[in-house]
Amino acid sequence: MSESLAPLQETLARIAEQGLVLDAEDLSRTTGISSAKDVRALLNGKDLADDDIDTRIRERVQLLCRRCLSENGKDYDDKDAVTALAKDIAGGIGVSIVWARQLVLGEKTPSMKHGHQLTRYFGVPDGFLTETPAAALNRALQPYLQIEHKIEADLDDPLAALKERFGLVGVARRGEPLSREEAKRFAGLIADVLQQNMEDQS
């Protein structure tokens, strides 16, 4: 197992515990991985053959360009649209239009400096152009773990869940600290009262 695949396997194991269904097509678009087939392979624990990093960068730049054109109802067959995109990129990252056009067409590999500027231009995370497929997929899956953390936090702190549910600034009481079970009962009592008040006012 490669070093970049190991963290992904840990992430997938935690997501599997939640029983979530992952959309390979959507993850392909989010990560820049060339195909949903490759995403499925990674989700199934398989490693992908190492690719040339320059090729990876050029392909991901083209993916971003293709996405940008598609959002405007255009594609690579529209030479005027490609030229307009190249001009916009040239102005955005400070290169010549000729060089930007070669970049859009996958004929040039951006330097580290221009690669960083391109990620900002397209609004994608740093590292998007250079990450291995496994690392890119692991990054894209992190929001699922944040959901897991939130669920765990809510289970551990019933009063925090109560505050979020009803938009409360805080919940105060006198006396000794509550056990988790006591906090659950206390939160349930307050929730019932608040819910009844909301229904009375509606």
pLDDT of residue 30: 86
User: Measured between alpha carbons, how far is 157 from 103 in angstroms, rounded to an integer?
Assistant: 51
For the chain, list residues with pLDDT below 50. 1, 148-155
* Closest-CA residue to 86 (of 74, 72, 98, 73): 98
For the stretch 39-63, what's the b/e string if a residue is b when 16 or more beta carbons lie within 10 angstroms of its beta carbon? bebbbeeebbeeeeeeebbbbbbbb
89 contact partners, CB below 8 Å, separation of at least 6: 95, 100, 103, 104, 118, 121
Mean confidence (pLDDT) of the chain: 81
pLDDT tens readout for residues 107-133: 999 999 999 999 999 999 888 999 999
* Cut 0.75: pTM above it: no
